[in-house]
Amino acid sequence: MPWDNKSDNQNPWGSGSNGGGSNGGGSNGGGRGPSRGPSRGPGRGNEPDLDELLRDLKARFNGLIPGAGGGSGLLVILAVLIGVWAVSGFYRVGADEQGVVLRFGKFHTQTAPGLNYHLPWPIETAVTPKVTTVNRVDIGMRAGDDRRSAGVMRDVPEESLMLTGDENIVDVDFSVFWVIDDAPDFLFNIQNPTGTVKAVAESTMREIVGQNDIQPILTEQRQTNEEQVKALMQATLDSYNAGIGITQVKMQKVDPPAAVIDAFRDVQAARADQERARNEANSYANRVVPEAQGEAVRIRRDSEAYRAQTVAEADGEATRFASIYTEYRGAQGVTRQRIFLETLEKVMARTNKIIIENTGTGVVPYLPLDQLNSRSISKETK
């Protein structure tokens, strides 16, 4: 081979020996003039022979592929390389992914899950981000870094301490869950998705907390705040064309600052006792008021019935008196006698009576006064 210098008389750049006897080794040996090989003047002493170099490369290439000779071997190799290059454009998009084809680094098209094809590199490339994976960002808390604290969340006060609308401080730890809604926007419009979501979430939560008092935030307004933060975050990210969808905002912990948490817990306990007493009072009122209302209705109806009865009795007495008076005017003696007897009957109906006829004379009547007294005493005791 031309590049294998196996002999001192061989030179890949042409013959450089000076003929002559055994002393021929230098450029001036043997009494002969300069070499008849290629001119090697001062400016061309190290220039290679391009024709010789191309012939050498061709020979080496033919040696690598037995049976390949001439231009046909190069065409076969070129065809194989082109085929491999063309086949490299096939790619697969998973069911949880979305294909994004870039042409010379610029967005070209989107592809659905399955087997797809794009022009091979460097013309086009494909990116397949996972669009169904739910990502999570924690604000105000971090997982432990070492093995001992792995799985244990530590508080980050610089992120969690926030000012409420009534100028109180509240410690809010929350998590944001998000997915990729639009792959091209996600890939090209934001540089740091996780950092962007975290910054927007912290800013949005501070805005919502600053619009409310501390008491509702700590108690019944937690779910409302989560929905408000989610809506405001989504609107902000949409204005950035971030291609991110917020699926959930979850408040993990909402407490007063650690320095005053005991006092707040005492206040909360007092509020709970107040609420319990209020509920008991409402329950008692709900039970007593209907009973009192029912008793009032009963008394009212009894009085109405008594009034109706008294009026009816008075009307009857008046009617009876009028009828008796009419009879009295027609027969005064008989009517007077009848009234006397009826009145005497009513008066004497409940007393012990002894009736003595005046038919006998000269006989002292026997009156059992002791029995009459005992009967009256027994009636009185009863």
> Domain limits at 222?
135-256
* Nearest residue to 233 via CA among 245, 243, 222: 245
The whole-angstrom separation of Cα 381 and Cα 46 is 160
Residue 220 domain-assigned? yes
Pair 171, 157: CB distance under 8 Å: yes
The whole-angstrom separation of Cα 212 and Cα 225 is 9
- pLDDT, one tens digit per residue, over 151-191 is 677 778 888 888 888 888 888 999 999 999 888 888 888 88
Residue 49 domain-assigned? no
My answer on whether 164 and 211 are in the same domain is yes
My answer on whether 226 and 153 are in the same domain is yes
My answer on whether 122 and 139 are in the same domain is no
- Beta-carbon count within 10 A of 271 CB: 12
pLDDT category of residue 255 using cuts at 50, 70 and 90: confident
My answer on whether 99 and 182 are in the same domain is no
My answer on whether 213 and 231 are in the same domain is yes
My answer on whether 123 and 157 are in the same domain is no
My answer on whether 139 and 250 are in the same domain is yes
Q: Which of 99, 127, 155 is the last residue of a domain?
A: 127
- pLDDT, one tens digit per residue, over 341-378 is 888 888 888 777 766 666 655 556 666 666 666 655 55
My answer on whether 94 and 181 are in the same domain is no
Residue 40 domain-assigned? no
Pair 211, 170: CB distance under 8 Å: no
Pair 90, 114: CB distance under 8 Å: no
My answer on whether 252 and 186 are in the same domain is yes
Pair 102, 124: CB distance under 8 Å: yes
- Beta-carbon count within 10 A of 111 CB: 20
Give percent of the chain above pLDDT 70.
72
My answer on whether 140 and 252 are in the same domain is yes
Amino acid at 375: R
Q: Report residue 355 CA to chain centroid gap.
A: 103
210: its two tokens: 């600053």
CATH number (domain holding residue 151): 3.30.479.30
- Percent helix, strand and coil across the chain, each rounded to 5? 50, 15, 35
My answer on whether 206 and 113 are in the same domain is no
Question: Does pTM top 0.85 for this prediction?
Answer: no
Residue 98 domain-assigned? yes
My answer on whether 175 and 251 are in the same domain is yes
Residue 116 domain-assigned? yes
Element (H, E) at 132: none
How many independent structural domains does the chain possess? 2
To which residue do tokens 């989107």 refer?
A: 110
